[in-house]
Amino acid sequence: MREIWMAVKRFLKERFSLRGDTDYEQNTIDAVRRGVMFKGVNLWTLIFATLIASIGLKVNSTAVIIGAMLISPLMGPILGVGLGTAQYDFPLIKKLFKNLLIATLFSIATSWLYFCLTPLAEAQSELLARTSPTIWDVLIALAGGIIGMVAVASREKGNPIAGVAIATALMPPLCTAGFGLAVGSVQYFAGALYLYIINSVMIALGTFRVAKLLKYPVVEVHTDKQRLTKRIIALVTVVIIAPSIFLAYRLVKNTVYEDSVNRFVATAFDLPDSQVLSKELSADPQGNKTLKVFVIGTPVDSS
């Protein structure tokens, strides 16, 4: 039995090992560090990617939004934060946070300016989708960070980075935050910014875990400082995740309730010579809910 277990263990280790496919450590580190500065070409690329994403969000075009996410250079400094943290390279982390802050401010400012000038003022579904992040966004971003770092560390980079850029959606939340500022909506601004923070932190965390797994060299720092860094990472992760769990619970609760309302309407108003035009569900400040159903055809008995 022990021999079987050892054979299975060797098989799994061989199959899941990343060592055979990874590039030289220094090549990976250099590749990540090259994409962290936001000036010149990178800054212009970011500004126009933000503009494209803002237009896509406003006209509700998924294809345009995906294109903007592929163009955006935002992924670089976030991967860099994860790698720098894994190496305890604090000067690099400081530099990365500075560049990430610059990129964030430029993106929000660009989208704010666009939405201030555009004549279209109504929020489309692509915009609204970025205002209520949940635990599922946390899981997507974490998985994206892991596969993103695995792709960067591999000899053959392949297509995962493009997929990560689309799945984790860093650019749309920033544009939605700019929209929130333009229309004066704290809900849109705060919700979108929270989604952006979730994505950024979880991508960095995924990168951190992969870099640790691959045993990248660390800068010589005191053990106490390393221990403090790990505690800060744990604390930030909990603080970031906690609200998303509550929002996910509320989303599931609302979805279940809306499904029950739809089933009730479909059953109760399945009448001959009558058709449901629309339904309206509202709630007062005390939480009492009212359902109004608008029907045409044969009069319905109120009982």
- What CATH number has the domain bearing residue 89? 1.20.1080
- Does residue 277 lie within any of the structural domains? yes
Q: What angle do CA 49, 54, 55 make, to 5 degrees?
A: 100
pLDDT value of position 127 = 67
pLDDT value of position 124 = 67
Compute the distance between CA of residue 165 and CA of residue 35 in angstroms, rounded to an integer. 14
Predicted confidence (pLDDT) per residue in 185-230, tens digit: 888 899 889 999 999 999 999 989 988 888 888 887 777 888 888 8
pLDDT value of position 153 = 77
Compute the distance between CA of residue 19 and CA of residue 3 in angstroms, rounded to an integer. 25
pLDDT value of position 301 = 62
- Inter-residue contact 100 to 162 (CB < 8 Å): no
Both 174 and 74 in one domain: the answer is yes
Both 209 and 285 in one domain: the answer is no
- Does residue 173 lie within any of the structural domains? yes
Both 131 and 241 in one domain: the answer is yes
pLDDT value of position 49 = 92
Compute the distance between CA of residue 215 and CA of residue 29 in angstroms, rounded to an integer. 12
Torsional sign, CA 189, 191, 193, 196: negative
pTM higher than 0.85: no
pLDDT value of position 299 = 66
**Tally of domains in the chain:** 2
Both 233 and 282 in one domain: the answer is no
Compute the distance between CA of residue 290 and CA of residue 292 in angstroms, rounded to an integer. 7
- Inter-residue contact 279 to 291 (CB < 8 Å): yes
Residue 38 DSSP code:
-
Tokens of 124: 């489309």
- Does residue 141 lie within any of the structural domains? yes
Q: Which domain holds residue 302?
A: 271-303
pLDDT value of position 7 = 78
Both 235 and 141 in one domain: the answer is yes
Both 235 and 284 in one domain: the answer is no
Regions of the chain with pLDDT less than 70: 13-25, 31, 35, 120-129, 155-161, 284-287, 298-303
- Does residue 228 lie within any of the structural domains? yes
Compute the distance between CA of residue 32 and CA of residue 153 in angstroms, rounded to an integer. 9
- Does residue 265 lie within any of the structural domains? no
Residue indicated by tokens 């704290």: 186
- Does residue 211 lie within any of the structural domains? yes
- Does residue 261 lie within any of the structural domains? no
- Does residue 260 lie within any of the structural domains? no
Compute the distance between CA of residue 275 and CA of residue 294 in angstroms, rounded to an integer. 9
Compute the distance between CA of residue 197 and CA of residue 178 in angstroms, rounded to an integer. 15
- Inter-residue contact 68 to 53 (CB < 8 Å): yes
Both 97 and 210 in one domain: the answer is yes
Both 24 and 123 in one domain: the answer is yes
Both 33 and 59 in one domain: the answer is yes
